[in-house]
Amino acid sequence: MLNEWNAHKTDLLRFYDTEADVYVANRPWMLTWVFTRMTRILLTLLKSVLANGHARVLNVGCGPGQLERSLVLLHNGSQSNNALFVSLDLSPNMARTTKFHTPYIEAVVADAESLPFRPSSFDAVISSRAIKFFRLHRFLDYVKGVLREGGLLLIIFDCGDAFWVKLLERVGMLIDVGIYSRTLDTKELVSLLDNSGFDVLTSYPVTSLPLSIFSYVPRSLYSLLRCIDVPRLVGPRLNIVLSVRRRDRGVPLSQHPIHSRNSKGGF
């Protein structure tokens, strides 16, 4: 089993090392209203953390670092004013790309399942659509260690229990060719978080279409999608931002807001 997982990581590393230079060009949604909305939601959730001028935020599975750049631009109004973000990726080329385009951000090459940081060294940890590649119990154990007391974990993920995600997964649009990954049902993810010592605070929808679909549509159709109200056309929101806090005291799973349709953000 361990050898199989190591092989998976090798495939993942090879794929993203190869993709690093063209990743942004092949992911046009990163610079759209979708990405801007996602960034603004993250900033809202990080508001209390960023109020501390010495806050440290870790992005696990950073890719080419666009999320950090967008967060810094919207938060500070300038790309030059930042000592907040640390970017981590398994791929050396992705980390290199992040550092090249964003020299003021620290880029680290490391495994998400073995975070190389001192205990309680971050105020918040972000993982955007990368948890599908992790053994979550190991990842969450390390996150709990590097977060300070009351620290936030913000997770963006594709809801595996949604029809559109299941459909796209079946036809191979959600999973990169040659790479193992898995989507999680919402309640499954919440249970994992609960068992790992985290409490879900709230959830926010980002978009109704899985973000990966924008990698596969022609630019003409992509432009059309930007002009129409996609969420109303396709129904339930599929890309979700979860705001999670490291637990200091136990809270029953039944009380987690994600289990109630009337909770803030809702499903």
Q: Which two tokens stand for residue 10?
A: 């090798």
Quick check: is 26 in a domain?
yes
Task: Count the domains in the chain.
Answer: 1
| CATH code of residue 8 | 3.40.50.150
Q: Which of 2, 8, 7 is CA-nearest to residue 181?
A: 8
CA atoms within 13 A on the CB side of 109: 11
CB 12 within 8 A of CB 93: no
CB 38 within 8 A of CB 70: no
Distance CA 233, CA 246 (A): 36
State which residues form the domain around 18.
2-247
Give pLDDT tens digits for 203-245: 877 654 544 454 444 545 544 444 444 443 443 445 667 788 8
pLDDT of residue 168: 60
49: three-class secondary structure by DSSP: helix
Quick check: is 147 in a domain?
yes
Quick check: is 48 in a domain?
yes
Quick check: is 258 in a domain?
no
Type of residue numbered 139: F
- pTM of this structure: 0.76
The ranges of the chain with pLDDT < 50 are 78-83, 174-177, 208, 210-212, 214-217, 219, 222-237, 249-267
Quick check: is 261 in a domain?
no
Quick check: is 262 in a domain?
no
